[in-house]
A and B are shown apart, each in its own frame.
Chain A
Amino acid sequence: MADSSMFWRIVRRLITANYGRLFVILLALGAGAAITSALLNLQIDAKRRLTTEFRALGANVIVAPRDANANSGGGTLDQSLLAQLPTENAGKPVPAVAFLYVIGAVAKVGEIHHEAAVIAGTEGQGLTKVRPGRRTDYSAELENDPLACELGAKAAAQFKVHAGDSLHLRNQGREATCKVFAVVATGGAEDTQIFTKLPTAQTLAELPGRISLVQLSVTGTPDSIDSFIKSLSQRLPVADVHGIKQLAEAEGKLYNRISGLLSTTVIIVLLLTSLCVMAGMSNVAIERKNDVGLMKAIGGSVRRVVRLFLAEAILMGIVGGIIGSAFGIVGSIWLGKAVFGVAAQPRWIVYPVSVGITIIVSIASAFPLRRLASVRPANVFRGEA
């Protein structure tokens, strides 16, 4: 074992021989590791965060009756279906809201003239998530009233009502009233609709326990949303589950572009890091000619010499990687905050991965040391470099 202790002693000497150079190489490796781990962590986080941001676009999956015929007013689904929907996908909650649409006559309480409008009964968690828009005139204390309703901006202007006013709803002899708690501007068809609680709409339509459709806002990568839709349509044979193509296509496209950009950057940064270390190492190779010449002269085989330098490279890779990656992960937490406003979650898998990558880079950049194999002791000693 004297042999191995000698081996490590030489390695130690090699490393500590020149502190300046050690510093440069460790700095290069450490900085490379820091940037790699920060970008890797941010990449995972950014992809995840991006899928969350996409949900600002609102519902992307719709559960509708299978025999839906838009022209005959459409079939309906049973309300119990809402309870059967998964509440989360890939750890993220899935807001789901059931809608029942009725065309009724509407007027402000006290007015005689009624006008036809679409009344949408809603039930479920996260109406603001599946139907993003800007709420004006919002009064929170009225919201939980069973007779509360929310108006689209155009409808509110048409009926001249504000939060706190009451509306009279009528459909084929059935009547109801509701109290306005908010006015919402979405820019879409919702602007002209009246959103009541589900039982109100069911009474007006005389369809107790029925719903027209369910809108869901599923967070996830394009693939995971696809598989969510597939598994859901298998579980609900009575219903037609489909994604909103408009969103799915744009989201998929953007997602691929951005994640492609991040991955490319990580590769480029790694290339540059290895270049950096290689520059340092080619220097080392020149300096070590004498050492290698001596080693060879006293009987060291090329293989052992190379092994020495490899051990040195791996050691430096480990040290640079461990220190640099730690800095990088801490940095990415802060970067996540700068980009997405929420601190990026450190992913521990990134740490060993980026340390591993650094070690590989360090070994690969020891490539210039291969020159040492061709060193001829006699030439070195004669001083002919």
Chain B
Amino acid sequence: MFLRLVADSFTRRPKRKMLTLAALALGMAVATAALSVSLDVGDRLAQEFRSLGANLMVTPEADSLPLEIGGVDYRPANAGAYLPEADLGKLKTIFWRFNIMAFAPILEVPVEAWSPARKNWSSPGVVDRSTLIGTWSDHSVPIPDGTTYQTGIEKTNPWWHVEGRWFKEGEDECLVGAAFAKKFGVKPGDVLNVRANDRTGWKGLKVVGIVSTGGPEENAVVASLAVAQSLAETPGKYRRLYVSALTKPEDAFARKDPKTMTPAEYDTWYCTPYISSIALQIGEELKGTDVRVIRRVAEGEGTILTRVRTLLWLVTFAALLAAALAVGASAAASVIERRTEIGLMKALGAGSGLVGVLLAAEQLLVAFVGGGIGYSVGILLARLLGQKIFGFTPEPKLFLLFIVLLLASLITLLGSAYPLRRASQYDPAPILRGE
């Protein structure tokens, strides 16, 4: 009889129940979407910040001071120390190897350049001084465990825009900076002749693109590391390495000096992807280097990320609160409208307790169905929102379904509790009389 009554209330007035169900499903859909977006977006946001570029710089430990002004090193080519390119695969063997998003070695060579394309009767192939930046565009690095890893300056410096295409690794191709191209009148397809000194002789590079960076690279030539090494006569060497690592924002603990930590603290610190611990691990692998944290990027990233995460949870909480209110109100409404029925049941001898249980069972059923529908709709909504705002799709999480169902039953019961209590106190007579 109990089950029949419950079933009856659904089949008798399906339209009314649909409304409550819809409200519940919508509320829970929002809750699911908000939760799954904010659960996933934390990692995603950290990756987003990598568009700021590298946050670690590796230079030789024993080195003369670079004479760098506006990104150009004025040291003679033979001054200063170099690092071996062959070691770079070790970067992907450190404890936090999966947090190393990209890296690119740099070797700058002061060069003389001239282009036959510019040669005409008025300016017969003027030779100008410039800088050639040797780096990786999209290089496959052999890792000591036998695999390879694709990385390069495209990934560490995503704000570099290339008109044309990137140079191919190992080819005699190059990109020219936008300002350089304007000044020299070279365009993709032309040949640019470069040499580092009189001894090496001219090397012809095919211009394949024009790079705009907003930085000093606009006045330079960018080519593959191998080209720069052969020009500088330093095979297998580089001078500077940029590393882009995914890190945990620094907190008070991370700012402690590792030397003063207890062994337990040191282990915790070492096994947390703080920028400082990643820097230390890189230093352990690449011998003879000085790994420095690019403070402006690392710290800016840290503060903003912490703030945005708090904001995100707050917003999720607000959406949950609104969803709870909507669900609670519609639950309350669905009880209030059934006063006559309750009166009748009591007149026929049902106790307040039984009426309460009956209505609660009904509400729970609605909560489960609505919660289930809401979860599926919410997953779709989360995909849409994730794609639209963050350009990624959050993974559907099954444990969210349980949370949502729990939330839905809790809120519906809470929302119906007060009207149910009122209903159980109704005197059947006036209700049946229609007052």
Contact = CB atoms under 8 A, between A and B. Distances in A.
Interface of A: 20-21, 24, 27-28, 31-32, 35, 38-39, 42, 46, 49-50, 53-54, 56-58, 68-71, 74, 101, 103, 115-118, 131-134, 153-155, 158, 185-189, 191-192, 212-213, 242-250, 253-254, 257-258, 260-262, 264-265, 268-269, 271-273, 275-277, 279-280, 282-283, 286-287, 335, 338-340, 383
A185 B295 contact: yes
Contacts of A192: 65-66, 68
Contacts of A279: 19-20, 23, 326, 329-330, 333
B336 interface: yes
A87 B23 CA distance: 53
B303 A265 contact: no
A230 B71 CA distance: 24
A272 B215 CA distance: 48
B296 A339 contact: no
Nearest to A58: B296
Interface stretch (B142-150, B304-312, B354-362): B304-312
A273 B325 contact: yes
A131 B419 CA distance: 63
Which DSSP category, helix, strand, loop or mixed, fits chain A's interface?
helix
Contacts of A338: 310, 314
Contact of A261 (B57, B300, B389): B389
Given A70-B219, A260-B388, A254 B49 contact: yes
A146 B388 CA distance: 54
B298 A187 contact: yes
A245 B161 CA distance: 10
Contacts of B67: 103, 116-118
Interface string B284-317: 0000001011111111100110011011101100
B337 A246 contact: no
Contact of A116 (B34, B49, B65, B70): B65
A244 B216 CA distance: 11
Contacts of B322: 31-32, 35, 268-269, 272-273, 276
A333 B9 CA distance: 47
Nearest to A185: B295
B22 to A, nearest CB: 8
A268 B319 contact: yes
B165 interface: no
A133 B294 CA distance: 8
A154 B65 contact: yes
Given A133-B295, A247-B52, A272-B322, A116 B64 contact: yes
B263 interface: no
Nearest to B51: A250
A269 B319 contact: yes
A108 to B, nearest CB: 14
Interface string B325-350: 11001101100110000000000000
A188 B214 CA distance: 17
Contacts of B336: 20-21, 283
Interface string B44-56: 0100110111011
A74 B70 contact: yes
A115 B75 CA distance: 12
Contact of A56 (B66, B69, B304): B304
Given A277-B329, A339-B311, 8 more contacts: A39-B315, A70-B131, A187-B298, A188-B294, A213-B70, A244-B214, A264-B389, A265-B34
A74 B69 contact: yes
A303 to B, nearest CB: 26
A134 B300 CA distance: 12
